[in-house]
Amino acid sequence: SAVISQKPSRDICQRGTSLTIQCQVDSQVTMMFWYRQQPGQSLTLIATANQGSEATYESGFVIDKFPISRPNLTFSTLTVSNMSPEDSSIYLCSVVGGSGGDDYEQFFGPGTRLTVL
C-alpha cells in the first residue's frame, strides 16, 4: 500500500490569494492525481500529475488556475490560484499502486480542506 501525506490539512484563505498544497508519498509511484470534492459531492478529477512533464488537465480545469508540479516520483504540489469562494472544497491527492500495492489499487491522501472567504 502507499502512505500519503498532505500539507496543509486545512486552511482559510482570502479571496484573490493563492494556496499551494503538498502531497508526499512514502514510495515511488507512477501515477499521481489531484481531485476536488465539494461537500456532499463525489470526486472530480482535476488533473494527472506527470513526472518530468506538464500535468494533464480535465475539462473545466486549466493550468493557470491550478498549476501542478511533479519534480519526482514521490512528491507533487497543486496550487489553487486567485481563489474565490467557489474554490472552497476538499482537495485530495491520490496515487495508484505503490510499494506492495496492486496495480489497480488507488490510495488517497487525507485531503486538504480549503475555505475561501
Q: How far is the CB of 16 from other proteins (least distance, A)?
A: 27
Position among 29, 46, 55, 92 found at the interface with other proteins (CB under 8 A): 92
Dist. CA 45–CA 77, nearest whole Å: 15
Task: Decide if residue 108 touches other proteins (CB under 8 A).
Answer: yes
φ, ψ of residue 85 in degrees (nearest 5):
-55, -25
Task: Show contacts with other proteins in window 41-70 (CB under 8 A).
Answer: 41-45
Task: Decide if residue 105 touches other proteins (CB under 8 A).
Answer: yes
φ, ψ of residue 38 in degrees (nearest 5):
-90, 155
Task: Decide if residue 98 touches other proteins (CB under 8 A).
Answer: no
Q: Please report, as ranges, the residues that interact with other proteins according to CB under 8 A.
A: 41-45, 92, 102, 104-111, 113
